[in-house]
Amino acid sequence: MGRSKMHPIPIIRTEERDSGPWPLISEDTDGEPRRVHPDVTSHRVAHTKANGKRVRRDKLDVPDPFGDGVMCLIDRNGSYPSACSAVLLAPNKLLLTGPLNAFDKTQAGIYLIDIPQWNHPDMPHLLGRIIDRPDDQGRVWVTTPHIKQLEKLVREGHLDAIPAIHESWTGKANESLFKPFYAAARQACTELVQTAGDPYKAYKTRLPIALRLLWPKRPEQRSPFWRPDWRMSMVAEASVRHWTVAFKAAQEGHKLIALHNVDAAIFWTPEGMPPRHIPDRASFGEVKAKLVQRGESIPEGDD
């Protein structure tokens, strides 16, 4: 932050947090997609990891009418930190910019919009859980990554028009503020995955904690940051990237049976035919595919 030419403001003073844009930002603003196909049953089951540890994992019961096939799990390696490579946000304070006739690409922040109609039943709504809590007029607050993606879907013909922006709080946009953090996280991952053991486990544990401290929730959490707009924009960027990969696979004809947060999408596919644009292994920030047999639990993390 100290090296940035944007002179970012990493912390909003306590006395300012109950006014302006800050009460408008919630955890739901991340837009994380959460959906299980209505004909598929999901439940938690006991699972024993390779090291003997007992955990709980999701199990999806796929009905016989789906035909022969396997579950294809796709996920991104380091989804949250890789989203930091180019997330568009405002390094300085957000200012009230009111209703907008169009999205200004030089600005970033939060926007109050109508929920766009989504007419693709094979995919959940792009805005994920944002749409579950509209205001009295059916409008929701979103961050810049979702506005950018809505514009892209309009250009590609999947949406008729960008929804109206009824209110906005924005600042001058920048997409490189977190890039040094992304580069450091990627280098650490590359080095520590070879070392494995406790150093790699510590890295996996500390990384999400560091990102959550962009918006500390408890007084005892000492942090040099308090920027909920940065935190939610970063998670929204990861959500958008995850949703986009899943949508591309669905367009290829693969049947989406579950979309979990920003880490995993599960498709029902003929055995040996995963989505053609996704490899079976990936480096930091890339997407990989894994085939899971019918009746097996869904692996997570380093299972």
Q: Cα dist. 143→81, 165, 284 in Å?
A: 18, 12, 25
* Amino acid at the residue 92: N
Phi-psi label, residue 26: left if phi above 0, alpha if psi -120 to 50, beta otherwise:
beta
pLDDT number for residue 76: 79
Are 298 and 59 spatial neighbours (Cβ–Cβ below 8 Å)? yes
- Average pLDDT per block of 10 residues along the chain, 303 residues long: 84 94 93 86 80 81 87 82 92 96 95 94 90 93 96 94 95 93 90 80 86 88 92 94 89 86 80 60 72 80 61
Which single residue is written with the structure tokens 């924005």?
170
Separation of alpha carbons 289 and 266, rounded Å: 9
The tokens for 8 are 């970012």
The number of angstroms, rounded, from the C-alpha of 118 to the middle of its chain's C-alpha atoms is 19
pLDDT digits (tens, 9 = 90+) for 111-151: 999 999 998 888 999 999 999 989 999 999 999 999 999 99
The three-state secondary structure class of 87 is coil
Threshold 0.75, pTM exceeds: yes
pLDDT number for residue 44: 83
Q: If you compute the radius of gyration of the chain from its CA atoms, what whole number of angstroms results?
A: 20
* Amino acid at the residue 124: P
Separation of alpha carbons 230 and 171, rounded Å: 12
Q: Cα dist. 72→43, 62, 124, 254 in Å?
A: 18, 12, 18, 9
Are 289 and 276 spatial neighbours (Cβ–Cβ below 8 Å)? no
